[in-house]
Every structure is written in structure tokens, then in C-alpha cells.
Structure 1
Amino acid sequence: MFKEFRAFIMRGNVLDLAVAVIIGAAFGKIVTSLTDDVIMPVIGKLSGGLDFSSHFIRLGDIPADYKGSLTSYADLKKAGVPLLGYGEFITQAVNFLIVAFIIFLLVRAVNKAMTLGARRAAAEVAAPPPESADVILLREIRDELRARGRQ
């Protein structure tokens, strides 16, 4: 069983997948930063100063010993108060849309590059190179010799 597992792990597509997951995780952090630090503040500014990350609905009671802010989603969540964090959901939905759009652009670019490469390869195969003057001259000599041999 260990040999089968080792053979499975050493296959190329498994290694490619592992690399893709690691790169994807790093890319996810970049997109999260882009969303949290650039896009959501702009959306908040355009919508009148709304901060989506702090929008929530409290679903339970606040502990008696709680001393934090009643409007802080992070503090209430840390204290164990059940919350419906729809603002965080909006942030994650925007994150997803950004990632999906960037992946769409990448796949589109790769498809265009592959199509262009296929067109170039087809053009090279379809159009034979022009014959050189030497080849043309040798054909004429051959044809002349054949014509003399028939006479």
C-alpha cells in the first residue's frame, strides 16, 4: 500500500496540483488584501461611509462580563456572542468575484495564445516555402534533358 501511495504522490499531475494549491493560497491572500484594503473602502466611501465588515445582526445575549464595544463585530465574536455577519459575507462574495474574474481573464489569455499558436502552426504547414532559384534551374535542366532523350 505504501508503494502505491508513493507512486500516486510522485505522479506529475499530483505535484502540479500541490503547486497550484500553494500558489492559490498565496494568491488568495493577495486578493483578500485587495478586497479588504482597497476595494471595500472605496465601496464604503461611495456608499456614504459604510464599513461592510462591521455589519451584523446579534442573535444572542451579550455575556454579563463583556466590556468591549457593542458595535464591534470582532470583539463580540471573540466574546462568543452569536452573530449573523452579513457584512463579512458581502466582503467574501466580493473576494470570490474578484478571484473568478481574474481566473477568467487568465484562461481567456491562455486560450487566445493557444489559438494564435495553432493558427501560426497551421499557416506554416499550409504554405510551403518558395523554391530557390537553384531548384528551379535544376528542374529546367532535367526537363530539357528528358526532351532531348525522346528525340
Structure 2
Amino acid sequence: MELSCKSEYAILALLEMATHHESGEPMQIRQIAAQQDIPDRYLEQLLATLRRGGIVKSQRGSKGGYLLAREPWKITLLQVLECLEGSDMQASKDKINPKSLDSSVIEDIWQEARQAANSVLQKYTLQELREKRDSRQQLDIMYYI
């Protein structure tokens, strides 16, 4: 299992938005893109997908931009990835007749791996991701002093 570029960019953008969440002011695409080194046009597409999925909301006008739709501690990484990548868990459960006994065993193990990964992703919120990042920044600062 690998994190797609699309998901990584989206999580970076959401992390930036979580950092500025307390201000209550929307962030513009160019702000987020500059801070996280994400191409503007690609970020625009990602944010549109996240908006349709209820992860972010947009605000129009001169002071417009994007905001998290909920508090950072209420948005899990699993919700973000399911919004972007879709959930293929149901497709695996719907397979009635595997091709062979060997295929069935492999499918069972793959299903278990997916459930374990989803469990970890469900455990972490944007707030926790932000806190982990902040604590690592503190360690880096302390290391250089």
C-alpha cells in the first residue's frame, strides 16, 4: 500500500488549513500552494474534490478561500483518503466466488491488511497530525541550538 501523490498533496494542504483553523479566516489556494509547494492548478482540483466530500468548505468574495468544514480533531485521515481515493472495501466483500482456493486465501489476507491500515488511518485526525509535526519541529529547533 502506497500513499498517492494526490493524497499526499491533499493531506499537506489540509495540514496547512488545520494550522490556520483557529484564526477562522479562509486560506487562498495560492497561500496553501506556496506554503506546501503544491502546484496551484492541481491544488484547486484537490480542494474541489474535498469540498464535494464535505472535508472543506469554500467562501466567495475578496476575503474568500477555503476552510476546514469541521474542527481538525473531527477529520480523520481515513475520511480524507476515502474522499479522494474512494473506498474499495465494499468491492472486496462483494466477491462471491473467488477464482480458486489460493485466490481466496490471498484475498482474505489482503482484506485483513486493508482493515489494519484503515484502523490506523481512522485513529489519526488532522489535529494529531499537526501536533506530531509541531513536536518534530520543536525537536529540530532544539537540536540546532
Normalised by the length of structure 2, the TM-score is: 0.23
More helix by share: 1
Greater RCO, CA 8 A, separation 6+? 2
Normalised by the length of structure 1, the TM-score is: 0.23
